[in-house]
Amino acid sequence: MRPIKNIHGDKAPHWVGDGFYVKTLINHLEDNPDFNYSHTDPFLLFDYGNPTTFAPNPEYKSQPHGIGQHPHKGFETVTIAYSGEISHADSTGGRGDILEGDVQWMTAGRGILHEEFHSKAFGQRGGVFSMVQLWVNLPSAHKLTEPKYQSIKRSEMPIVELIDHNETNNQTAIGKVAIIAGDWQGVLGAASTFTPINLWDIELHAAGSTTLPIPSSHNVLLLVQEGSLLINSTPVNAGNLIQFAAPSQSSVDDQSEQTSDVSTLSTDTIEIQYPMPTDNTETRAPIKLLLLSGEPIGEPVAGYGPFVMNTQEELRQTFRDYQTGHFGK
Tens of pLDDT along 262-273?
A: 445 688 999 999
The 10 Å Cβ neighbour count of residue 283 is 5
Q: Is 120 helix (H, G, I), strand (E, B) or coil?
A: helix
The answer to whether 314 is a known ligand-binding residue is no
Amino acid at 127: G
Q: What is the pLDDT of residue 257?
A: 53
Domain harbouring 31, CATH code? 2.60.120.10
Radius of gyration of the chain (CA): 20
Q: What is the mean pLDDT of residues 113-126?
A: 97
Q: Is 282 annotated as a binding residue?
A: no
Number of domain units in the chain: 1
Q: What is the mean pLDDT of residues 211-234?
A: 96
What is the reported pLDDT for 31? Answer: 87
- Top mean pLDDT of 8-12, 97-101, 251-255 is at 97-101
Q: What average pLDDT is seen over the chain?
A: 92
The DSSP symbol for 264 reads G
User: Does residue 325 belong to any structural domain of this protein?
Assistant: no
Nearest to 43 by CA among 236, 197, 252, 216: 197
Q: Which domain holds residue 180?
A: 4-294
Question: Taking a C-beta distance cutoff of 8 angstroms, is the pair 163, 173 a contact?
Answer: yes
Assigned domain for 313 exists: no
Sign of CA dihedral 82, 218, 160, 223: negative
Amino acid residing at 264: T
- pLDDT tens digit string along 30-47? 989 999 999 999 999 999
For the beta sheet containing 287-294, the strands, ordered from the edge strand earlier in sequence to the opposite edge, are 4-8, 241-244, 219-226, 287-294, 197-204, 173-181, 159-163
Is residue 139 exposed (0-12), middle (13-18) or buried (19+ Cβ within 10 Å)?
middle
Domain for residue 206, yes or no?
yes
Rounded to whole angstroms, the Cα distance separating 159 from 177 reads 6
Quick check: is 169 in a domain?
A: yes
Phi-psi sector, 123: left (phi>0), alpha (psi -120 to 50), beta? alpha
Residue 259, pLDDT > 80, answer no
Phi/psi at 64 (5° precision): -70, 150
- Round to whole Å and give the CA distance between 296 and 58: 46
Q: Is 70 a known ligand-binding residue?
A: yes
**Among the listed residues 217, 37, 42, the one whose alpha carbon sits nearest the alpha carbon of residue 137:** 42
Which H or E run contains 255?
helix 249-257
d(CA 27, CA 228): 24
Q: Is the pLDDT of residue 245 over 60?
A: yes
Determine the length of the chain.
Answer: 329
Model confidence band, residue 26 (pLDDT cutoffs 50, 70, 90): very high
Residue 264 lies in a domain: yes
- E strand or H helix at 313: helix 312-324
Residues 6+ apart with CB under 8 A from 253: none
Classify residue 310: in a domain, yes or no. Answer: no
- pTM of the predicted model, to two decimals? 0.92
- What average pLDDT score do residues 171-191 get? 95
Q: What is the pLDDT of residue 50?
A: 86
Question: Is 65 annotated among the ligand-binding residues?
Answer: no
- DSSP letter (8 states) at residue 145: P
Comparing C-alpha atoms, which of 78, 153, 70 is closest to residue 114? 70
- Has residue 256 been placed in a domain? yes
Residue 18 inside a domain? The answer is yes
| Mean pLDDT value across residues 132-156 | 96
Beta bridge mates, 76: 107, 136
Determine the average pLDDT of the residues in 10-37. Answer: 94
Residue 35 CA to residue 303 CA, distance in Å, equals: 17
